[in-house]
Structure 1
């Protein structure tokens, strides 16, 4: 069942794909109710394809103080490894993420991946790659869905530096491998211009 009714106006699919950009200037001003955020992310988790229907993707949604806590953890983790004289740009970046409304954490369940490796040993070396493919699709679906609702988002990768503290803070199973963090919020500035390579250099058609 679709999460949209006939009376609701969801953004056209192509427009949503085109509109999905990396938005770094975000605020914590509400765009849609929290229940709607939960609904669209549940929809993405349920319907994004996975290899062998493994459903290996796991998602944690952090709002409010939990969202703030994540970027505090990340900032303090980076403070330990970035020289103090160079830390200001890093701190500003962490604060810009924390200024948003929430963060989506994307994990892949390694128990599921290892189970497939044992069940299909001929393709054992491929399942970690398939897992990454599945996670990438889930990230894209969530990102585009959030954009379609009026949020701006970006994709960040501070794993494995923050993995242990994240798992401890929110009781995440050890078998869940963190793949990405997606801070989102109401856009306060548009994305910059984007250059596109010629399509004839990126695709071939034979007919």
Structure 2
């Protein structure tokens, strides 16, 4: 079956061998990321997803700050693999910090109290869709990336360093850059453990 959406999703892979040789200008990459997030769905059209888009030295600073926080909790004798990961992420051209605006979520809870308990979960769904949209859009133009979750380890340090509003909650980090290696083959678990189809 030929399907353009599925073909694009198949291009999205976790790329850990990143470089700084982007196929597009930084301005074009920024515009692509913003549009991918704009077009991502959100519950009640809340548009609660936020992003900090960093290039060059600012992107490298993200991973330096996270590394500094990790050094406080990871034993020194076991830190070498973690350090290598941080340096690999910093080797890329940029990083997207994905946030959800808690003020927007609170406003929905107040406006629709019947769903108040559900809105944080809805926001997580929106965040995931925004992340996938950006990741896939980057992959389509030949830019590699991966999705990382180093929260809340360095949330405060990142917020202070980049002027992030207090109501923004950090969800994930996406280092991106040129593809400097071919990702390994993607494997899948058996369909019968993942899907149930009825009535066809």
Give TM class, smaller chain: over 0.9
**Could you state the TM-score of these two structures normalised by the residue count of structure 2?**
0.95
1:180 aligns with 2:172: yes
Residues of 2 paired with 1:18 and 1:155: CA distance? Answer: 16
- Alignment partner of 1:148 is 2:140: yes
Shift of residue 28, structure 1, vs aligned partner: 1.1
Hey, what's the Cα distance between the residues in 2 that align with 1:87 and 1:197? 32
Deviation at 1:184, TM superposition (A): 0.5
Task: Output the CA distance in 2 between the equivalents of 1:17 and 1:194.
Answer: 12
> Structure 2: how far apart are the matches of 1:133 and 1:59?
16
Match of 1:98 in 2: 90
User: Using the alignment, how far apart are the partners of 1:87 and 1:139 within structure 2?
Assistant: 28
> Is residue 18 of structure 1 aligned with residue 10 of structure 2?
yes
Residue aligning to 2:131: 139
Secondary structure at the aligned position of 1:195 is classed as coil
For 1:107, what is the secondary structure of its paired residue?
strand
Q: What is the aligned partner in structure 2 of residue 191 from structure 1?
A: 183
1:111, 1:187 → 2: CA distance?
37
Instruction: Give matches, 1:108-147, under 5 Å.
Output: 108-147=100-139
| 1:28-49 Cα deviation digits (max 9, x unpaired) | 1122111210111121121111
Report if aligned partners of 2:22, 2:143 keep a CA contact under 8 Å in 1.
no
Unmatched runs of 5 consecutive residues or more in structure 1: 1-11
Partner of 1:170: 162
Once superposed, which parts of structure 1, at least 4 consecutive aligned residues long, lie more than 6 Å away?
none
Q: CA RMSD in A?
A: 1.3
**Residue 37 of structure 1: aligned partner:** 29
Is residue 42 of structure 2 the alignment partner of residue 50 of structure 1?
A: yes
Give me the TM-score of the superposition, normalised by structure 1: 0.92
Distance 2:75 2:91 in 1: 24
CA distance in 1: counterparts of 2:7 and 2:50, whole angstroms: 27
